[in-house]
């Protein structure tokens, strides 16, 4: 599966059209524009709400087999709940899916990618104990309306990013709630839809490969600890049941020393552990870069943070090729190691790379670093498949289009296609990286001259 990834909030625009209600991100960008690097909004973004046929035409010319997009919850259920289903919102996605299928492109659909309806945000959002029921009810609408045409579903994009911004104490409660929500959607699909729609469903995890600074035992343990606190925060429960042991022991001990009566990490019941375990039909993940991890002395007891809970030092090397995003450096070899770790840690699952890409600040059409990034990362992926027996089933580059990149606004560009955000028509122009990836999609060949 070769494709491109996007997300509703980042490309659609039409923020208040045809019955759509505000998402939490609409509200945030309107109320506090200063938190966005260029004070921008996604009110119009790439205007894909009106220009989806142009997007599909670009995907067809690219040779993509799949297109990863997300469904806007507030466009489908403007009240947040399934008591009212917006027919115009449903029609938009039906038209998009029909256009994709007519061009032999399979939809790869994310149920929520950041744009929670504001009406649910006002009720506590991801932290509300009823959130798993809310997500299940929205998913039911999605399965009913689109499920006959969708074979790959993704429940929650990057749950880690949804949980980390309100402090570490709340983050673990949020993570537990999102695991319950994902499991509830998986069981709904498994019990009521799988036998007739024949699809698969997964959660989308994210973060980096974490490389030990040296081959000393302490650094190796530190890097593994970081892996378990990042990927394992959700992955361990999905594949092994419960939190990773290192999380339970570290957070439990530090909580006690901080004066808590019990661990800050919520405890799953045996019923919940059983309910969550095994609810990933394949392993979907977003990863862009690598970090180095060094062992350090145990952090002092004080106000808890994720950094002190993990208790390691993380950094990136100055000599790695940078991007326009401060967190993203070009480290292709880390991808092969990450894939190998997934194989060993999670019982050799089918691996679907749902996002991987490079950002610049210009959107220039001549973008050799992005082209080389894709080439080198695909080469590392191919090595992992050929030499490590890793089972990769697909790759999606982020992104098809330059788009609204959350707090970075339009200051960073990830697209294979340039979008002129100063033009009311949002003119799309293919970059050199598009032409390279087109060759890959059509020939399944990474290098210039391929020999069978």
- Say what the pLDDT of residue 306 is: 96
Q: Of 41, 34, 35, 48, whose CA–CA distance to 99 is shortest?
A: 48
- Mean per-residue pLDDT, 13-32: 98
Confidence of residue 450 (pLDDT cuts 50, 70, 90): confident
Confidence (pTM): 0.98
For 360, which DSSP code? B
Q: Is the peptide bond before 13 cis (omega within 30 degrees of 0)?
A: no
- Determine the Cα–Cα distance for residues 251 and 264; give it in Å rounded to an integer: 7
Annotated active-site residue in 213, 272, 345, 355: 355
- Determine the Cα–Cα distance for residues 302 and 351; give it in Å rounded to an integer: 39
| Number of residues written out for the chain | 452
- The tens digit of pLDDT for each residue in 408-424 reads 999 999 999 999 999 99
Q: How many helices (H) does the chain have, and how many strands (E)?
A: 18, 15
- Say what the pLDDT of residue 158 is: 98
- Determine the Cα–Cα distance for residues 117 and 22; give it in Å rounded to an integer: 6
- Mean per-residue pLDDT, 124-151: 98
Confidence of residue 165 (pLDDT cuts 50, 70, 90): confident
Give Cα separations from 435 to 1, 62, 416 (angstroms). 18, 8, 9
- Determine the Cα–Cα distance for residues 335 and 419; give it in Å rounded to an integer: 29
Measured from the Cβ of residue 83, the count of other Cβ atoms closer than 10 Å reads: 8
- Mean per-residue pLDDT, 8-20: 98
- Say what the pLDDT of residue 413 is: 98
- Mean per-residue pLDDT, 138-161: 98
- Mean per-residue pLDDT, 45-55: 98
- Determine the Cα–Cα distance for residues 340 and 389; give it in Å rounded to an integer: 8
- The tens digit of pLDDT for each residue in 61-82 reads 999 999 999 999 999 999 999 9
% of the chain beyond a pLDDT of 90: 98
Asked if 318 and 331 touch (Cβ cutoff 8 Å), the reply is no
Confidence of residue 125 (pLDDT cuts 50, 70, 90): very high
Cα angle: 268, vertex 250, 288; to 5 degrees: 85
Torsion of Cα atoms, 117 then 118 then 119 then 123, to 10°: 110
Percent helix, strand and coil across the chain, each rounded to 5? 45, 15, 35
- The tens digit of pLDDT for each residue in 183-215 reads 999 999 999 999 999 999 999 999 999 999 999
- Mean per-residue pLDDT, 33-38: 98
- Determine the Cα–Cα distance for residues 99 and 228; give it in Å rounded to an integer: 41
- Determine the Cα–Cα distance for residues 375 and 447; give it in Å rounded to an integer: 8
Burial class (CB in 10 A: 0-12, 13-18, 19+), 434: buried
Measured from the Cβ of residue 275, the count of other Cβ atoms closer than 10 Å reads: 18
For 412, which DSSP code? S
Annotated active-site residue in 12, 99, 158, 405: 158
pLDDT at 448 over 90: no
pLDDT at 452 over 90: no
pLDDT at 399 over 90: yes
Active site residue 355: yes
- Say what the pLDDT of residue 378 is: 98
Active site residue 213: no
- The tens digit of pLDDT for each residue in 346-371 reads 999 999 999 999 999 999 999 999 99
Residue whose token pair is 């059209």? 17
- Say what the pLDDT of residue 261 is: 97
């Amino acid at each position: 599966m070769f494709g491109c990834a996007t997300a509703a909030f980042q490309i659609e625009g039409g923020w208040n059209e045809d019955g759509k209600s505000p998402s939490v991100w609409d509200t945030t960008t309107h109320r506090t524009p200063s938190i966005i690097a260029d004070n921008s909004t996604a009110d119009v973004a790439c205007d894909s709400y009106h220009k989806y046929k142009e997007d599909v035409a670009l995907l067809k010319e690219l040779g993509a087999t799949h297109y990863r997009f997300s469904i806007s919850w507030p466009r489908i259920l403007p009240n947040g709940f399934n008591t009212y289903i917006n027919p115009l919102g449903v029609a938009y996605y039906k038209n998009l899916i029909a256009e994709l299928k007519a061009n032999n492109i399979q939809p790869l659909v994310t149920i929520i990618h950041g744009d929670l309806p504001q009406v649910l945000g006002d009720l506590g959002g991801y932290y509300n104990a009823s959130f798993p029921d809310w997500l299940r009810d929205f998913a039911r609408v999605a399965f009913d309306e689109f499920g006959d045409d969708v074979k790959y579903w993704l429940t929650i994009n990057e749950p880690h990013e949804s949980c980390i911004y309100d402090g570490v104490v709340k983050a673990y409660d949020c993570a537990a709630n999102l695991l319950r929500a994902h499991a509830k959607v998986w069981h709904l699909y498994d019990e009521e839809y799988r036998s007739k729609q024949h699809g698969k469903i997964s959660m989308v995890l994210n973060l980096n490969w974490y490389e030990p600074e040296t081959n000393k035992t302490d650094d190796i343990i530190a890097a593994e600890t970081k892996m378990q606190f990042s990927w394992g925060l959700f992955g361990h429960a999905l594949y092994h049941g419960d939190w990773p042991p290192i999380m339970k022991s570290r957070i439990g001990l530090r909580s006690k020393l901080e004066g808590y009566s019990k661990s800050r990490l919520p405890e799953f019941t045996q019923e919940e552990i059983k309910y969550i375990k095994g609810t990933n039909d394949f392993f979907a993940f977003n990863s862009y870069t690598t970090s180095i991890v060094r062992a350090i002395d145990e952090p002092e007891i004080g106000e808890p943070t994720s950094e002190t809970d993990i208790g390691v030092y993380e950094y990136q090397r100055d000599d790695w090729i940078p991007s326009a995003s401060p967190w993203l450096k070009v480290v292709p070899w880390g991808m092969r190691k990450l894939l190998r770790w997934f194989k060993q840690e999670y019982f050799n699952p089918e691996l679907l790379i749902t996002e991987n890409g490079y950002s610049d600040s210009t959107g220039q059409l001549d973008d050799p670093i992005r082209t080389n990034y894709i080439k080198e990362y695909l080469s590392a992926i191919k090595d992992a498949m050929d030499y490590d027996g890793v089972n990769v089933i697909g790759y999606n580059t982020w992104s098809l289009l330059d788009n609204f990149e959350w707090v970075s606004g339009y200051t960073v560009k990830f697209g294979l296609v340039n979008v002129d955000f100063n033009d009311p028509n949002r003119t799309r122009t293919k970059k050199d990286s598009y032409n390279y990836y087109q060759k890959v999609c059509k020939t399944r060949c990474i290098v210039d001259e391929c020999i069978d």
